[in-house]
A and B are shown apart, each in its own frame.
With several copies, the nearest count.
Chain A
Amino acid sequence: MNEDIDLILETLLYVSGDEGLEVRRAAEAVGIDKSRVITELERIASQYEEEGRALSVQQFGESFKMVTRAEFSEYVERYASPPQRGTLSQAALETLAIVAYEQPVTRLDVEEIRGVKVDRAMTTLVGKGLVEESGRAKGVGRAILYKTTPRFLDVFNLSSLDDLPTINDNEQTEQMDLFMSSYREQHE
């Protein structure tokens, strides 16, 4: 296994993505010293550099991240937001779908569901008149609540929000499945 440590750390670097690989947790997962993890990661970083790999490994305090190279950023941007006329990006559509079904909803709620930041998508949706502010949530912070606009109904040809199709008939059972598995986990 010894010789695979670099491969395992690369694997963990990849899966941790934007969050970065925490040295402490990596050490626990692999079963080696923190210092060893750092040495290995530094070695991997310089190897990536030398071999001119597509990605690079950067240290940020107690964590390491796999990042893309600046020289390719224009392609990343072009891939992420292809030029569009009138159409909504996938990010905007997903955000809109969540707002439509969960409204009124805060940006943070949407981010929790999508698993990524949605500020830009939300701004776009407000800009396109599909989503608007609808007061403030109770509690600390009093975050802005969002809801869909009448224009949203118009664009999607809905006479009212009740017209939104119900989805996931098996939601209930699935939640039960989820519950059972997490319950088992906890009690076994």
Chain B
Amino acid sequence: MQVERYSVKLDSFEGPLDLLLHLIQQAEVDIYDIPVAKITEQYMTYIHTMQELELDVASEYLVMASTLLAIKSQMLLPKQDVWADEDWELEDWGEEDPREELVAQLETYLQYKEIASELRERHVKRSHLFTKPPSRINTESKENMEHTTDIEASLSDLLQAYQHVYQRLRFERPHTATVETQRWTVESKMETITTLVLERKQAVPFLELYKKGQINEQVTTFMALLQLVKDGSVICKQEKNFADIYIEPRGDVEYE
């Protein structure tokens, strides 16, 4: 039960600072007066749970764990060892508070989290404002046609132009031509794939189905493949994670 609850939550943390903030909030304490011993203990529980679940514990989490342990032990040290001439209490470390740096870090991070959520809201708001594609303009041969030897454009101009095109494609072009985008159907792509697999008489690399082309077409291809796998018409094989995927016809299909 315990483990399950953690496993759901672990994903939602953006790193050790995020996890710490969560623990501090849960403990209902002040960010400026962290009960280090308690929080450290809970933090370690999380880390152990992660490890038990065989999740990769990013090194940052471990670094933070050692920072916490260092602070904890510093705070437990008898005062005369470190701050021999000062009166201190746990609640009043003054400038020498070993937590100071961590608190400052948490504070800064917290501010940026807040800004990130504001950005998210603005993003949503912006997504409700629409525009149109630029108008086609019939310029009377304004663009000079002569064979100029000097062309003032750099590779970076070219790259930016390319990115620009694809960003526009991904983000901003209204799909007014919904009908046209149906140039490829899942059914026709299913047929293409089965034909290819049967003709080839050997496993076809997954990537071969993609090559160049429109994203729409690639997505359609992928859906067709999924459908074929679901129907049991083909089998996909992959040796290990991220290795190439090969598509084969099923054993009972005619295949030499």
Q: How far is the CA of A86 from the CA of B170 in the complex (A)?
A: 8
Task: Tell me, yes or no, whether B30 is within 8 Å of chain A by CB.
Answer: yes
Question: Quick check: B58 and A89 within 8 Å, CB to CB?
Answer: no
Binds B, one of A32-40, A98-106, A139-147: A98-106
Question: Quick check: A156 and B60 within 8 Å, CB to CB?
Answer: no
Task: Tell me, yes or no, whether A151 is within 8 Å of chain B by CB.
Answer: yes
Q: Which of A67-91 contact B (CB under 8 A)?
A: 67-70, 73, 76-77, 80-91
Residue in A76, A86, A151, A170 whose Cβ sees the most chain B Cβ within 10 Å: A86
| Distance in Å: Cβ of B84 to nearest Cβ of chain A | 30
Q: How far is the CA of A67 from the CA of B125 in the complex (A)?
A: 12
- Report A-chain residues with C-beta under 8 Å of the C-beta of B80: none
Question: Quick check: B153 and A115 within 8 Å, CB to CB?
Answer: no
- Report A-chain residues with C-beta under 8 Å of the C-beta of B147: 127-129
Contact residues of B: prevailing secondary structure? helix
Task: Tell me, yes or no, whether A138 is within 8 Å of chain B by CB.
Answer: no
Question: Quick check: B137 and A76 within 8 Å, CB to CB?
Answer: yes
- Select A155's contact among B130, B141, B151, beta carbons within 8 Å: B151
Q: Which of A93-113 contact B (CB under 8 A)?
A: 93-94, 96-98, 100-102, 112-113
Task: Tell me, yes or no, whether B240 is within 8 Å of chain A by CB.
Answer: no
- Report A-chain residues with C-beta under 8 Å of the C-beta of B135: 14-18, 68, 76
Total interface residues on A, using CB and 8 Å? 76
Task: Tell me, yes or no, whether B150 is within 8 Å of chain A by CB.
Answer: yes
- Report B-chain residues with C-beta under 8 Å of the C-beta of A112: 214
Task: Tell me, yes or no, whether B198 is within 8 Å of chain A by CB.
Answer: no
Given the known A-B contacts A15-B134, A116-B60, are A156 and B171 also in contact in the complex, defined by CB atoms under 8 Å? no
Task: Tell me, yes or no, whether A48 is within 8 Å of chain B by CB.
Answer: no
- Report B-chain residues with C-beta under 8 Å of the C-beta of A98: 112, 162, 165
Question: Quick check: B140 and A93 within 8 Å, CB to CB?
Answer: no
Question: Quick check: B126 and A157 within 8 Å, CB to CB?
Answer: yes
- Select A18's contact among B107, B117, B133, beta carbons within 8 Å: B133
- Report B-chain residues with C-beta under 8 Å of the C-beta of A187: 9, 12, 22, 25
Question: Quick check: A87 and B153 within 8 Å, CB to CB?
Answer: yes
| Distance in Å: Cβ of A102 to nearest Cβ of chain B | 6
Task: Tell me, yes or no, whether B116 is within 8 Å of chain A by CB.
Answer: yes
| Distance in Å: Cβ of B111 to nearest Cβ of chain A | 5
Given the known A-B contacts A15-B174, A73-B128, A92-B143, are A85 and B123 also in contact in the complex, defined by CB atoms under 8 Å? yes
| Distance in Å: Cβ of B102 to nearest Cβ of chain A | 10
Q: How far is the CA of A116 from the CA of B166 in the complex (A)?
A: 13
Given the known A-B contacts A16-B132, A68-B131, are A179 and B161 also in contact in the complex, defined by CB atoms under 8 Å? no
Question: Quick check: B165 and A114 within 8 Å, CB to CB?
Answer: yes
Binds A, one of B44-52, B86-94, B215-223, B243-251: B215-223
User: Which single residue of chain A is at the shortest CB-CB distance from B13?
Assistant: A187
Question: Quick check: B158 and A96 within 8 Å, CB to CB?
Answer: yes
Given the known A-B contacts A16-B132, A17-B134, A187-B22, are A97 and B116 also in contact in the complex, defined by CB atoms under 8 Å? yes
Task: Tell me, yes or no, whether A26 is within 8 Å of chain B by CB.
Answer: no
Given the known A-B contacts A115-B17, A182-B114, are A167 and B131 also in contact in the complex, defined by CB atoms under 8 Å? no
What 0/1 readout, one digit per residue, does chain B (1-43) give for beta carbons within 8 Å of chain A? 0000000010010111110011001000011100000000000
Q: How far is the CA of A128 from the CA of B218 in the complex (A)?
A: 20
What 0/1 readout, one digit per residue, does chain A (166-188) give for beta carbons within 8 Å of chain B? 01101010111011101111110
- Select B114's contact among A18, A83, A151, A178, beta carbons within 8 Å: A178
Q: How far is the CA of A96 from the CA of B117 in the complex (A)?
A: 11
Question: Quick check: A90 and B161 within 8 Å, CB to CB?
Answer: yes
Task: Tell me, yes or no, whether A117 is within 8 Å of chain B by CB.
Answer: yes
- Report B-chain residues with C-beta under 8 Å of the C-beta of A117: 58, 60, 136
Question: Quick check: A97 and B112 within 8 Å, CB to CB?
Answer: yes
Pairs across A and B, CB under 8 Å, 12 listed: A18-B172, A76-B174, A80-B176, A81-B139, A85-B171, A100-B115, A127-B147, A156-B158, A167-B159, A175-B110, A182-B114, A183-B226
Chain B interfacial positions (CB closer than 8 Å to A): 9, 12, 14-18, 21-22, 25, 30-32, 58, 60, 64, 105, 107-120, 122-123, 125-137, 139-148, 150-155, 157-159, 161-178, 212, 214-215, 218-219, 222-223, 226
